[in-house]
Amino acid sequence: MILTSTAESRLLDKIAMTEYGLPEAVLMENAGRAVVSRMREFTDWEGAFTVIVCGTGNNGGDGFVSARYARGAGARVLVILMGDPSHMGESAKMYRKTAEKMGIPVIEVMEAEEAVPYLYDADIIIDSLIGTGLASKVKGEKAALIDIINDTDALVVSTDIPSGLVTDTGRPAGTAVNADFTVALGSVKRGHVLYPGSEHTGRLLFSPIGIPEEASEDFPVRLLFREDIAPLLPVRNQISHKGKNGFLGIFAGSSGMEGAALLAGQGALYAGAGKTAIITTGDAAPIMAGKFPEIMVSSIGNGPHFTEDMAEAALEKAKAYDVIAIGPGIGRDEETVKFVKKMVENFEKTIILDADGLYAAAEAKIDFKSCPGRLILTPHVGEFARLTGLSASEIEEKRIDAASDFSKKNRLVLVLKGAPTVIGLPDGRSYVNTTGNPGMATGGMGDTLTGVIGAMAAQGMSPSSSAAVGVYLHGLAGDLAAETTPVGYRVTDLARLLPKARAQITEMDE
């Protein structure tokens, strides 16, 4: 499913009208009806006192349509209109008249206070004050109205996007509605999934409004759902053997940081890599040996951490692997930085670079574009800040564009972890993940993700697909863990649920 910016959602409406000849009023009718019909399974409209709060834009127009359908569903309805009615477009004006002709009361208010008696009595509030047309900071009476909506006990359903939320960033423009449900119309918008917009949005429902899918085929940002992931997962047929499912080599760990390497290895095991090896340092290897009988642990060198002079032997060893991962727990010694540089500049197959591997890449100023391998970088915001020189807040402000710009410029796959994780592809497109939960904000989750993505690449997927499938699967395993333990499940608990998550994805058609 596409994920749109303000400009793209406007473009989509424009394409619908100019290229397909769909009148604005038809789209608005579909939109207003969808809000009520999508909510039918979540609320009982029968007898519910429903206040529809309309602004003077097309979002308000949708609201006038919803008023009719809510009444049709048995609700007692009332419309509150705030703003200068002369600003209303033709379709919105028409639907206001229609509603009034059907006997639906429309109360024009100048001050928020005038709406108080209705709003506090409401069972359901439909928020149609401001949609994607939000122009600047919300102040004065509209801000006060939003604050009252947020103060009521009513079930709040936002039309298209919670009023006051900035479509492109998910930040409130001063203040924004805290919805229980939001019905996204025609497309899901960036603000619905970017924090804190995801919290204002409440439960996100989507409804098409009649615009053909072809109209948005070339849009560059997509939300990842099960339907997108299932076709990418390789099917294991009866005659599959371990040699067919790839060999992943994980260069990880150092003295005192053996756990990170084991967690990456564990991720690979449960994600179905054919064979997994951990290659670590002399001091770390004995501690890792035998922890997972399925993982081959070997060492290069005798010391506590990787050094530049080990790179040659490591590259020789790496010839046996289809994919390598470098980084978890390797530490930040100067020598280790040089080791990573040599590895990344010389390995010719797929490389996943994570954690201290990313630190090394930033320190050594590796020129990713001139590296011979296919790179997948998996930074969290802090690591990405170091790589780009941007601050963490600058990245959060434009999480999607920051990821896609970087991957396009450096021709690699970038997994910018967090809520939500964004995957930038070398061609400038990007994916936004929909799985995962705050219970995953615990040490070692990222190491496991590295193993999962590595396992996918080893099983023959392209770097882009490996990242998409790995991130989605890892998040889904987290969601399965959170079903019983919202916070406090271990990385190991998540890893053990990876096979179940995988089965859930592939069994979708049954």
Ligand X SMILES: NC(=O)C1=CN([C@@H]2O[C@H](COP(=O)(O)OP(=O)(O)OC[C@H]3O[C@@H](n4cnc5c(N)ncnc54)[C@H](OP(=O)(O)O)[C@@H]3O)[C@@H](O)[C@H]2O)[C@@H](O)CC1
List binding-site positions for AMP: 417-421, 446
Q: How far is the CB of 209 from ligand X (least distance, A)?
A: 6
Per-residue x/- mask for ligand X, residues 138 to 177, rule CB under 6 A?
x---x----------------xx------------x----
Q: Which spans of this chain sit near ligand ADP (rule: CB under 6 A)? A: 380, 417-419, 421, 436-438, 440-441, 443-447, 449, 474
Q: Which residues pair with 106 in a beta bridge?
A: 79
Q: Are 470 and 248 in contact (CB under 8 A)?
A: no
Q: Are 46 and 74 in contact (CB under 8 A)?
A: yes
- The residue to which tokens 């209303």 are assigned: 88
Q: Give the annotated binding-site residues for K(+).
A: 59, 127, 163
301's contact among K ion, ligand ADP, ligand X, none, with CB below 5 to 8 A by partner kind, is none
Interface positions, 71-110, toward ligand X (CB under 6 A): 83-84, 87
Of 245, 244, 306, nearest to 278 by C-alpha is 306
8: helix, strand or coil:
helix
436's contact among ligand X, ligand ADP, K ion, none, with CB below 5 to 8 A by partner kind, is ligand ADP
Residue nearer to ligand ADP on the CB measure, 187 or 450: 450
135's contact among ligand ADP, K ion, ligand X, none, with CB below 5 to 8 A by partner kind, is ligand X
- Phi-psi bin for 272: left (phi > 0), alpha (psi -120 to 50), beta? left
Q: Are 165 and 182 in contact (CB under 8 A)?
A: no
Q: Does 159 bind K ion (CB under 5 A)?
A: yes
Of 433, 13, 431, nearest to 186 by C-alpha is 13
Per-residue x/- mask for K ion, residues 42 to 61, rule CB under 5 A?
-----------------x--
The whole-angstrom separation of Cα 38 and Cα 34 is: 6
Comparing every residue's Cβ against K ion, the nearest one is 163
Q: How far is the CB of 222 from ligand X (least distance, A)?
A: 20
Comparing every residue's Cβ against ligand ADP, the nearest one is 446
Q: How far is the CB of 475 from ligand X (least distance, A)?
A: 28
377's contact among ligand X, K ion, ligand ADP, none, with CB below 5 to 8 A by partner kind, is none
Q: Does 61 bind ligand X (CB under 6 A)?
A: yes
Q: Does 24 bind ligand X (CB under 6 A)?
A: yes
Q: Give the annotated binding-site residues.
A: 58-62, 127, 131-137, 160, 163, 260, 329, 380, 417-421, 446-447
Structure tokens at 162: 């919670």
Mark out the alpha helices in 40-75 (DSSP H runs).
58-72
- What contacts 24+ positions apart, CB below 8 Å, involve 101-106? 102/68, 102/71, 104/67, 104/68, 104/71, 104/77, 104/78, 104/79, 105/78, 105/79, 106/79, 106/80, 106/81
The whole-angstrom separation of Cα 30 and Cα 132 is: 17
Q: Does 281 bind K ion (CB under 5 A)?
A: no
Say how many residues touch ligand X, by CB under 6 A.
31
43's contact among K ion, ligand X, ligand ADP, none, with CB below 5 to 8 A by partner kind, is none
The whole-angstrom separation of Cα 303 and Cα 443 is: 25
Q: How far is the CB of 19 from ligand X (least distance, A)?
A: 13
Of 67, 122, 125, 134, which one interacts with ligand X (CB under 6 A)? 134
Q: How much of the chain is in helix, strand and coil states, percent to nearest 5? A: 45, 15, 35
Of 394, 263, 235, 243, nearest to 327 by C-alpha is 263
Of 20, 51, 46, nearest to 214 by C-alpha is 20
Q: How far is the CB of 30 from K ion (least distance, A)?
A: 16
Of 18, 86, 136, 237, which one interacts with ligand X (CB under 6 A)? 136
Of 62, 123, 322, 396, which one interacts with ligand X (CB under 6 A)? 62
Of 9, 50, 150, 163, which one interacts with K ion (CB under 5 A)? 163
The whole-angstrom separation of Cα 148 and Cα 359 is: 47
Of 2, 57, 146, 178, which one interacts with ligand X (CB under 6 A)? 57
Q: How far is the CB of 308 from ligand ADP (least distance, A)?
A: 25
Residue nearer to ligand ADP on the CB measure, 88 or 355: 355
Structure tokens at 113: 């206070």
Interface positions, 207-226, toward ligand X (CB under 6 A): 209
Cis previous bond, 196, omega within 30:
yes
Of 67, 112, 144, 185, which one interacts with ligand X (CB under 6 A)? 185
The whole-angstrom separation of Cα 295 and Cα 268 is: 9
Question: Binding residues for ligand X, per CB under 6 A?
Answer: 13, 24, 27-28, 31, 55-62, 83-84, 87, 130-138, 142, 159-160, 173, 185, 209
